[in-house]
Structure formats: structure tokens, C-alpha cells
């Protein structure tokens, strides 16, 4: 199994290798560029120095006698030898007037050996002696020739060599300092990237350990900061915080679900238990009325179980929809007739604004959706009106066709608090916690309606304001 390296170390290593390779490439480029420029400069200096030597020695020519000043020539010539220039002076007849080697062969050999050793040992540049001839003229006539012998293709003087060595040491020191600084910066950058990721991973593990203890384990209120300078890290932190909040909310809902189911089952079971025990003990006679009451409680339990089973099937997408084409407006008119007596009994006006709209859907399931919405509208509207509308959203297509339809139930009831709107389609959720079982139902009617609409690929939504009524919309 290969070794696992931490993100911080991996990033640090990556940055360091990248910076090291970049510096190495830059060093090679700068070194080659510097060497080329310095070599060109030295060649230029050698040429200029040679021209200066020719001018200096040419000034020693005496036209009166047609000869060079020997005393001055020897003094100046040996000075140039120390600089690495072996001078030979010839007259107009090509006869040697003065030769540095003849004057001091040992000094000439020592100087040239020193230069050759410096160039070969320090700069790995092997060369050879080369001679350049320069004519000397006076008033347009030939006065002689000056041969200058140097180490080629070029050479560094002792001063130039020291300067170049100092420059190389400076570049090496600067490169080393930049490398160390780059490594420190890379470690800092790697830490700044890895630290929030490690913190996020630790928070995720804390949540996972708490959740692995069981569905009812306590999820810790884990939150991490979102004030990083990097957008992606802020997104990571925000995602974990959102996940933590969702898990906390899911945990709370699970506990609430268990409580709600227990509450919904407890009342009918307690009623059944009390009635049956009373009849078994002979306290009550098993009359038809009492048996009918027990039967109603059994039916209530059966409907609750059936609704839960239906909701589970819908949420797990295990239910098969029997789709067919039908007119939603016609279905809504039929349902309005069924709810009209209950609405009139409460003094509620039913307003129908229905346009023909044909869809392909499961007729019975959609009927159940509209019954649940109609039932809620009548149940929680004390006075006023309920407006039922239906309109096609793609009315431009010629009939006959099936398309998209929007159905809305608008009532003048008490409305729903804004804090409850996002959760009214959850199972067992009641916006009014004080409602009892007889007036409020089991609290899963809207959850079933939402699950059926979702199974059809549609949308269901609600909007309301306290005291301003509610509007439920279904797009199918």
C-alpha cells in the first residue's frame, strides 16, 4: 500500500519543486545570458585595449630618424605584458625592432600560463594564443607593424575575474535567499489552503460520529468560519455549515415525526382500549352505537396507515401512475359540487374561474390532490370566499392537445405564517400547533398532495400572509 501524504505536505512539496525548477531554469538562462554578454564585453575591451596599445606604441615612432624609441618601447611593452598582451614591433622592412619574449621570455611565459590556468580552471574555457597584426603609419607612409599576441578567443584579467566571481557569489546568495523565502511562502500557502480543509474534515467527522450512534443521536452544532480569502474555501465551509444545519433539522424532524405518529396512534388506540375493556368487564353493553364508535376509530387508524404507506411509496417512487388524458377543469367542477354543501353551511362563496385544460396524468391521484387542497380551503376558511381557477400555460397550441396546466385555490382564511410556509408540505407538520385531531387531521394531506404532484414531475407551492388568506398553486 502506497504511503499517504498530507495535503499540506503535498502542496508544500509541489510549490517547492515548482519554485526550485523555475529558479533553476531562470539561473541557467541568466547564467548563459550573462556569460554571453560578459564575453562580448571582454572581446570588445580586448579590441579597444589593443587599439590603445597600437596608438601608444605608434606615438613612440620618431620620423626624423625613422625608428621607434627603444627605451620607452621596452618600458611600455613590458607594462602591457603584465596585462596579458605580448607585443612585437617591426619596422617597415618587417624587421623585428622589439620583442617582449626576447626582452623577458620568463615573464611572458609566466603571464600566459597564469591566464591559461585561470581560464581553464575557473571557467572551463580552453583556448590558444592568437596573434593580431596592426599597421603603423606616419603621414600616409608605412612606419612598421605591431603584432599583439593574446590568449584567445578571449581572457579575463585578474580584476575582471574577481568581479565575475563576486557577481556569481551574489547571484548564488540571492538565489539561495529567494529559494528559502519561496519555501517559507509555499509552506505558508499550503497551510492556509490545508488548514480550513482539515478543519472541515474534522467537523464532518464529528457529525458522522454523532450520527453513526443512531438516527436519534445528538448532532453537535458544528459551525466553521466562512471568512477565508479564497472563494472555493468559503464555498466548502458554507457547504459543510449548510449540511450541518440540514442534519440538525433532519434530526429534529425525525424526533418530531416519531412524536406525531405516536400522538396520532395513541388517541384512537386509547379510545378502542377503553371501550373494549369496558365491554369485556361488563360495565358497558356492547350496543350497536358503541361498536360503531369502535369501528370508526379502527377506520381512522386504517386511513392513517394507508396514507402513510401511500406517502412512503410516493416518496420512494415505488408507486405506478396510471396516466390518461382528461380535462382538469371538468374534474374541478365535479369536486366543487361535492364541497358546495359544506361551503354553504359555513357561508363561504365558491368562485369558479375554470378554462378547459387537458393533461396526461393519473386521474385518481390528481383527484386526491385537489380533494386535499379543497378540504383544507373549506376547513380553514371561516367566512368569505374560495376562488378556484384553472388555466393552460401553453394556450397558443391549437386543440386538441395536452399540455401544462396551472390550478390555484385562493381562500380568505386566516393565512399561514411566513415561518411555516417552507414546511407546510412536510408530513405531520401543522402550522397551528393548537389544532386537535378532529379539526386538524393527521397533518399529512399536503405532504401526500406534494408527493403526488412531484411524482408527475409537476410543482406545488403556497403563498400567504397572516390574515390575508392563502393561495395554493399546482402546475401539472
> Would you say residue 277 lies in a domain?
no
* pLDDT score of 415: 81
* pLDDT score of 428: 64
Q: HEC profile for the chain? A: CCCCCCHHHHHHHHHHHHHHHHHHHHHHHHHHHHHHHHHHHHHHHHHHHHHHHHHHHHCCEECCCCEECHHHHHHHHHHHHHCCCEEEEEECCCCEEEEHHHHHHHHHHHHHHHHHHHHHHHHCCCCEEEEEEEEEEECCEEEEEEEEEEEECCCCCHHHHHHHHHHHHHHHHHHHHHHHHHHHHHHHHHHHHHHHHHHHHHHHHHHHHHHHCCCCCCCCCCCCCCCCCCHHHHHHHHHHHHHHHHHHHHHHHHHHHHHHHHHHHHHHHHHHHHHHHHHHCCCCCCCHHHHHHHHHHHHHHHHHHHHHHHHHHHHCCCCCCCEEEEEHHHHHHHHHHHHHHHHHHCCEEEEEEECCCEEEEEHHHHHHHHHHHHHHHHHCCCCEEEEEEEEECCCCCCCCCCCCEEEEEEECCCCCCCCCHHHCCCCCCCCCCCCCHHHHCCCCHHHHHHHHHHHCCCEEEEEECCCCCEEEEEEC
> Would you say residue 288 lies in a domain?
no
Rg (CA), the chain: 51
* pLDDT score of 326: 93
* pLDDT score of 38: 78
The rounded distance, in Å, linking the Cα atoms of 94 and 73 is 17
Q: How far apart are the first and last CA of the chain?
A: 55
Among 162, 177, 192, identify where a domain stops: 177
* Total-model pTM: 0.47
Among 129, 160, 177, identify where a domain stops: 177
Residue 237's CB is within 10 A of a number of other CB atoms, namely 21
* pLDDT score of 361: 93
> Would you say residue 55 lies in a domain?
yes
* pLDDT score of 210: 66
Cα four-point dihedral sign 425, 431, 436, 440: negative
> Would you say residue 172 lies in a domain?
yes
CATH number, domain of 61, equals: 3.30.450
> Would you say residue 375 lies in a domain?
yes
> Would you say residue 34 lies in a domain?
yes
How many domains would you assign to the chain? 2
Mean pLDDT, each 10-residue run in order, the chain (476 residues): 57 73 78 78 86 86 80 86 88 86 86 85 82 84 86 82 80 78 75 71 71 52 60 70 72 66 72 80 79 79 72 66 91 90 89 91 90 88 89 67 84 82 74 46 75 89 79 93
Q: What residues make up the domain containing 146?
A: 7-177
Q: What Cα–Cα distance (Å) separates residue 338 from each residue in 331, 343, 344, 362, 408?
A: 11, 10, 11, 20, 18
> Would you say residue 222 lies in a domain?
no
In the block, which residue shows the cell 596592426? 134
Bridge partner list, 250:
none
> Would you say residue 436 lies in a domain?
yes
* pLDDT score of 354: 92
Rounded-to-10 torsion of CA 294, 299, 300, 305: 130
The rounded distance, in Å, linking the Cα atoms of 295 and 268 is 10
CATH number, domain of 395, equals: 3.30.565.10
Among 177, 203, 220, identify where a domain stops: 177
* pLDDT score of 473: 93
Amino acid at each position: 500500500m502506497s504511503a499517504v501524504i498530507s495535503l499540506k505536505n503535498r502542496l508544500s512539496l509541489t510549490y517547492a519543486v515548482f519554485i526550485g525548477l523555475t529558479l533553476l531554469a531562470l539561473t541557467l538562462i541568466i547564467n548563459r545570458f550573462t556569460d554571453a554578454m560578459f564575453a562580448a564585453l571582454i572581446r570588445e575591451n580586448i579590441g579597444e585595449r589593443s587599439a590603445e596599445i597600437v596608438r601608444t606604441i605608434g606615438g613612440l615612432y620618431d620620423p626624423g630618424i625613422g625608428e621607434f624609441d627603444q627605451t620607452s618601447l621596452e618600458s611600455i611593452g613590458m607594462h602591457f605584458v603584465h596585462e596579458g598582451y605580448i607585443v612585437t614591433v617591426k619596422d617597415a622592412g618587417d624587421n623585428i625592432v622589439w620583442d617582449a619574449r626576447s626582452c623577458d621570455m620568463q615573464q611572458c611565459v609566466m603571464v600566459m600560463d597564469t591566464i591559461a590556468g585561470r581560464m581553464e580552471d575557473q571557467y572551463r574555457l580552453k583556448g590558444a594564443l592568437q596573434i593580431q597584426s596592426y599597421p603603423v603609419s606616419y603621414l600616409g607612409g608605412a612606419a612598421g607593424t605591431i603584432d599583439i599576441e593574446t590568449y584567445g578567443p578571449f581572457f579575463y584579467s585578474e580584476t575582471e575575474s574577481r568581479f565575475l566571481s563576486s557577481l556569481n557569489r551574489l547571484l548564488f546568495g540571492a538565489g539561495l535567499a529567494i529559494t528559502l523565502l519561496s519555501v517559507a511562502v509555499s509552506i505558508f500557502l499550503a497551510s492556509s489552503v490545508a488548514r480550513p480543509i482539515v478543519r472541515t474534515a474534522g467537523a464532518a467527522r464529528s457529525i458522522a460520529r454523532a450520527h453513526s450512534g443512531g438516527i436519534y443521536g445528538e448532532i453537535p452544532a458544528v459551525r466553521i468560519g466562512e471568512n477565508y480569502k479564497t472563494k472555493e474555501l468559503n464555498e466548502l465551509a458554507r457547504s459543510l455549515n449548510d449540511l450541518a444545519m440540514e442534519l440538525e433539522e433532519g434530526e429534529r424532524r425525525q424526533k418530531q415525526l416519531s412524536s406525531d405518529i405516536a400522538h396520532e396512534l395513541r388517541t384512537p388506540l386509547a379510545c378502542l382500549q377503553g371501550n373494549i375493556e369496558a365491554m369485556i368487564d361488563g360495565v358497558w353493553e356492547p350496543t350497536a352505537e358503541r361498536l360503531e364508535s369502535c369501528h370508526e376509530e379502527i377506520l381512522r387508524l386504517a386511513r392513517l396507515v394507508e396514507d402513510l404507506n401511500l406517502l412512503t411509496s410516493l416518496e420512494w417512487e415505488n408507486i405506478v401512475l396510471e396516466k390518461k388524458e382528461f380535462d382538469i377543469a371538468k374534474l374541478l367542477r365535479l369536486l366543487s359540487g361535492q364541497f358546495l354543501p359544506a361551503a354553504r353551511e359555513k357561508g363561504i362563496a365558491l368562485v369558479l374561474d375554470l378554462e378547459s385544460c387537458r393533461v396526461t396524468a393519473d386521474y385518481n391521484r390528481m383527484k386526491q390532490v385537489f380533494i386535499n387542497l379543497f378540504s383544507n380551503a373549506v376547513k380553514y376558511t371561516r367566512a368569505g370566499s374560495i376562488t378556484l381557477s384553472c388555466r393552460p400555460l401553453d394556450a397558443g397550441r391549437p386543440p386538441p392537445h395536452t399540455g401544462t396546466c396551472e390550478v390555484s385555490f385562493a381562500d380568505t382564511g386566516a393565512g399561514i405564517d411566513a415561518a411555516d410556509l417552507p414546511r407546510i408540505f412536510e408530513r405531520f407538520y401543522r402550522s397551528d400547533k393548537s389544532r386537535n385531531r378532529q379539526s386538524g387531521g393527521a397533518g399529512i394531506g399536503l405532504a401526500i398532495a406534494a408527493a403526488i404532484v412531484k411524482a408527475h414531475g409537476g410543482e406545488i407551492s403556497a403563498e400567504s400572509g397572516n390574515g390575508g388568506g392563502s393561495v395554493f398553486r399546482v402546475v401539472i
